[in-house]
Structure 1
Amino acid sequence: ATVIGIILSSDKTQLVNFWSNSTTWPVYMSIANIHKDYWQKISNCAMVLLGYLPTAKLREIEHTTDCTIQLHDLFHHCMAQLLQELHTLGAEGIMMVCPNKQLCHLYPIMVSYVADHPEQCLVIGCRQNWCPQCLVNWKERD
């Protein structure tokens, strides 16, 4: 059996045209054994579009905290839907032909999520002004 490292990446992007400003939020997927110099070039197509996340405004919710919580819940629900099959394959594995032409049992496991600071905070569920990588309170930082 072989573990296949899966890398996810997302970035909410502002789309500007002459009539309206809107955003899109693509989620991309790649495998970990592709060198970063190769997969960072868009023309190499090493990152595959997995799907789009909704970019709702939720204007009908008046309280800012409630709106933030709903947007966080929406993000996590949509990511769970996008990654449902990957989760199943990671647990059960999948039989595929490897480069050596042998049938191999592969287990795709998410090993990394590439995101900017606001998305890192959203993914792990911490506040925007906190560090998503350590347990130091923002008031205790130098």
Structure 2
Amino acid sequence: MTAPSATYGEPTKRGVVGPIIAVGAVIFVIALAVVAFQYFQKINAVTVSATTAGFELVDDHTLRVNVDVTRDNPDVAAYCIITSMNYDKAEVGRREFVIEPGGAKTQRFPIDIPSRDVPVAGKVYGCSDKLPAHLAG
């Protein structure tokens, strides 16, 4: 009778590939959880928001956009960036405007955006209550 090792070959040693994949998967899941947590923290930290409430063409190079701005704390200054777009949906103008402290929680602002092409639409790019240095003061 032959020995089992002669028939089936030498018993293989357990590889390290399986544990490496398992550790990599655990690290990936932890990293994904951290990124998701930070993302939801950032979303919940929004203190100023704005929506476009209509727009009109003033002339071939100026678009007037009505922007409704809502602030969690109206006693703090804020700013928003709005853009104008042409028929190709390319940005052709941009304007920053400051909302001074005070007033109602939600306010409407008519903003004229100078444009380098015929503007056909406007949109809110974003808002914040952390004024950059060039707007503060």
TM range (shorter): under 0.3
Which has more strand, going by share of residues? 2
TM-score, normalization by structure 1:
0.24
TM-score, normalization by structure 2:
0.25
Larger radius of gyration: 2
